[in-house]
Amino acid sequence: MKLFYTFLLIFFSSFSFGQNKTIAIIPEPVTLSAVQGEYTLKGPLTIGISDNIQAAEIAGYLLNAITAPTGYLTTIQKNNSNANIKLILLSPEEKVLGNEGYKLSVTPSSITISANKAAGLFYGVQSLLQLLPKEIASKTVVADKVWSVPCVEITDFPRFGWRGLMFDVVRHFFTKEEVKDFIDDMAKYKFNLLHLHLTDDQGWRIEIKSLPKLTTVGAWNVKKIGTFGTFSKPEDNEPRDYGGFYTQEDIREIIQYARDRFINILPEIEMPGHSLAAIASYPELSCTPGADKYKVNSGERFMVWPPSGHFYGLLDNTLCPANEKVYAFIDKVITEVAQLFPFEYIHMGGDETARNFWEKSPAIKALMQKEKLKNLDEVQSYFVKRVETIIRSKGKKLIGWDEILQGGLAPNAAVMSWRGIQGGIEAAKQKHEVVMSPSTFAYLDYMQGDRAIEPPVYATLRLNKAYQFDPVPNGVDPQFIKGGQANLWTEQIYNTRHMQYMLWPRAFAIAESVWSPKQKKNWNQFVRRVETHFDRFDIAKIKYSPALYDAVVAVKNNGKDLPLIELSTEVEGLDIYYSFDNSFPDNFYPKYKEPLTMPKDAAAMKIITYRGDKPIGRMIVITSDDLKKRAGIKSGK
Ligand code: ACM
């Protein structure tokens, strides 16, 4: 009997191991049944399509994805029922699949992807690519590889129609080619919305032909190296040659590139706050005397965020709501933006408007009297309503950060909830459309591991918290929740490698939160799939953060003014080893079992994680002063 159980155990563990190794789709499909057997791709290959131009385009995408790593001669053939891989547009349609769903059937004799619409075929292709061996991520031919796909039956469709990532291309500029790479990676994980943050205090990134100074002046600042936000104030003679912008031709190219991957682009033109680049270009847009001396910000401090209380500007980075020239300016900008971007929404920003200069402005006072506005919330709301009218007049809908609720929401405005979920709940109650992107779950600029070793940012969001993202809060009518997105602000992101490090693996967690059924979420299983995608990223040379393997350090006061340290890991099955004597711990050092009190004379704590006998996390070094600080204990020295 015992032997029988042992046999069963081995059988099941090897079965599930085998499955995990080969089947690791992100985001997890709605239903997936794995069956015995596999289909092996061998050259020459045929991709069969019905007589449809969009299916042909997707077949072309698949062909490119397969031929680079396999080197197989591959052809696309119409109406060939013997093709190796068939892409079929269903007629009649299958209701459950909607516009983006698909079925993927892999049998020992063929691979078939079927869908109602081209988008579904595209997502089926993404799942198929994820079923192929990891070397499919290679950009060059991998010789002597057996390209087999496990037999599966998948039916899959998204939970939400808005599955977004926001990319801030202002704080640091990313080139057209870098944006395309970003789009390519989004598409692999079935995101369908790229929110481009195009204007801010540090730059104006989109050519507006009727307002040329926005890009001759507004797109450029001074290159500084160090920690953004603490840079020295630029001298007058320092060259303003850092930055850049997209021409309208570039924008069209990016939009088309995204469209080919079933991704819409939401342009964000920030106002009335975060507008220093516009004001440096056209100072008459400000209410504040002296704005003609303003320059595009280069990362020097100009806003003050008191730990408690209201933030304020050291200079006035807002468009003046009391100035008719501002609305003429916005009309010009929105006219060109609306003509360029086919997406139905334009994002007007609306967040973090420092109003300390408005308080002193005679023009704002006069506006308040004229329009009977009782306070600055109402001034802001007046501004948003004027912008909403402009955006609507160009045939588009307004979406803005949740501060647009202050002083009363403009009619028809959609809300993007970032200060937690409360703004989204409020807007949904008022029957406005909502996109959830709460900083608490979806801010990918936050640190993802211990602050002793992460590049410094003011907050932390670990992978397991991002994985808990649910765009529909309890008690909210889901019909108003369009979906969710994660936001990648780039103040502290200076290049593509670090951008990738911040994006992955947390964007996997977000992808799963906006695509997969809520009840299918499973953290341990997700981690295993993430690890197989790390292997793919290694081959594709895409950077990702290994922070999920690091120890999680929690510190409090032990009651006697020494830090009490509690260690844990996000990933199960890891061991933690530590030292307090400055030497580097390994798996022969003390293994963490229970909360530890820091020895009184310790200089630092060093912590490392292992999986079995292999180090896996990064070495975390925290000085005793830092441990004390974290515990709220004053350092004796
Ligand atoms: C924001 O993060 N200020 C929208």
**Residues 257-274: tens digit of each pLDDT:** 999 999 999 999 999 999
- What average pLDDT does this structure show over 527-551? 98
- What average pLDDT does this structure show over 24-42? 97
Q: Tell me what the pLDDT averaged over the chain comes to.
A: 95
Judged against a pLDDT cut of 50, whether residue 3 lies above it is answered with: no
Question: Which tens digits make up the pLDDT trace of 78-96?
Answer: 988 899 999 999 999 999 9
Peptide bond preceding 158: is omega within 30 degrees of 0, i.e. cis? Answer: no
Task: Say yes or no: CB of residue 535 within 6 Å of ligand 1.
Answer: no
Q: What's residue 10's pLDDT?
A: 40
Task: Examine the fold and report which residue of 496, 516, 536 is the final residue of a domain before the chain moves on.
Answer: 516
Please tell me the distance between residue 618's alpha carbon and the centre of ligand 1 in angstroms.
30
First to last CA, the chain: 66
Q: Is residue 544 part of a domain?
A: no
Look up residue 84 and give its DSSP letter.
S
Taking the whole predicted model, whether its pTM rises above 0.75 is answered as yes
Q: Is residue 541 part of a domain?
A: no
User: Residue 195 catalytic?
Assistant: no
Q: What's residue 21's pLDDT?
A: 52
Question: Which tens digits make up the pLDDT trace of 117-134?
Answer: 999 999 999 999 999 999
576, 580, 585: which is closest to 562 by C-alpha? 580
Between 516 and 15, the higher pLDDT residue? 516
Question: Which tens digits make up the pLDDT trace of 171-228?
Answer: 999 999 999 999 999 999 999 999 999 999 999 999 999 999 999 999 999 999 999 9
Task: Say yes or no: CB of residue 443 within 6 Å of ligand 1.
Answer: no
- What average pLDDT does this structure show over 477-502? 98
Give the dihedral sign, CA 419/420/423/428. Answer: positive
- Residue 322 has which token pair? 């009391």
Same domain, 149 and 182: no
Task: Examine the fold and report which residue of 490, 516, 542 is the final residue of a domain before the chain moves on.
Answer: 516
Q: Whose CA is nearest to atom 3 of ligand 1?
A: 351
Task: Say yes or no: CB of residue 352 within 6 Å of ligand 1.
Answer: yes
Most ligand 1 atoms within 8 A of CB, residue of 167, 317, 353, 401 to mutate: 401
Which helix or strand (DSSP H or E) is residue 338 part of?
helix 324-340
- Residue found under tokens 């060259």: 239
Same domain, 132 and 261: no
Given a contact cutoff of 8 angstroms between Cβ atoms, the answer to whether 426 and 473 are in contact is no
- What average pLDDT does this structure show over 429-442? 98
Judged against a pLDDT cut of 50, whether residue 13 lies above it is answered with: no
Please tell me the distance between residue 416's alpha carbon and the centre of ligand 1 in angstroms.
10
User: Residue 352 catalytic?
Assistant: yes
Same domain, 41 and 81: yes
Same domain, 78 and 190: no
Same domain, 226 and 114: no
Catalytic residue among 200, 336, 402, 626: 200
Task: Fill in the amino acid letter for 341.
Answer: F
Atom number, ligand 1, closest to the C-alpha of residue 352? 3
Q: Is residue 131 part of a domain?
A: yes
Q: What's residue 273's pLDDT?
A: 98
Atom number, ligand 1, closest to the C-alpha of residue 418? 4
Q: Any residues with CB less than 8 A from the CB of 97 and at least 6 apart, and which? A: 90, 103, 115, 116, 120, 155, 157
CA distance 24 to 551: 25
566, 525, 557, 546: which is closest to 616 by C-alpha? 546
Same domain, 147 and 166: no
Task: Examine the fold and report which residue of 156, 186, 207 is the final residue of a domain before the chain moves on.
Answer: 156
Task: Fill in the amino acid letter for 474.
Answer: N
Q: What's residue 394's pLDDT?
A: 98
Task: Say yes or no: CB of residue 419 within 6 Å of ligand 1.
Answer: no
Residue 635 confidence class, pLDDT cut points 50, 70, 90:
confident
CA distance 325 to 59: 50
Judged against a pLDDT cut of 50, whether residue 4 lies above it is answered with: no
66, 31, 255: which is closest to 157 by C-alpha? 31
Q: Any residues with CB less than 8 A from the CB of 503 and at least 6 apart, and which? A: 165, 185, 444, 488, 544
Catalytic residue among 172, 197, 274, 432: 274
Quote the domain boundaries for residue 18.
2-156
Atom number, ligand 1, closest to the C-alpha of residue 443? 2
Please give the tally of structural domains in the chain. 3
Task: Say yes or no: CB of residue 401 within 6 Å of ligand 1.
Answer: yes
Given a contact cutoff of 8 angstroms between Cβ atoms, the answer to whether 356 and 282 are in contact is no
Q: What's residue 5's pLDDT?
A: 45
Please tell me the distance between residue 351's alpha carbon and the centre of ligand 1 in angstroms.
6
Question: Which tens digits make up the pLDDT trace of 502-515?
Answer: 999 999 999 999 99
Same domain, 130 and 222: no
Question: Which tens digits make up the pLDDT trace of 562-580?
Answer: 999 999 999 999 999 999 9
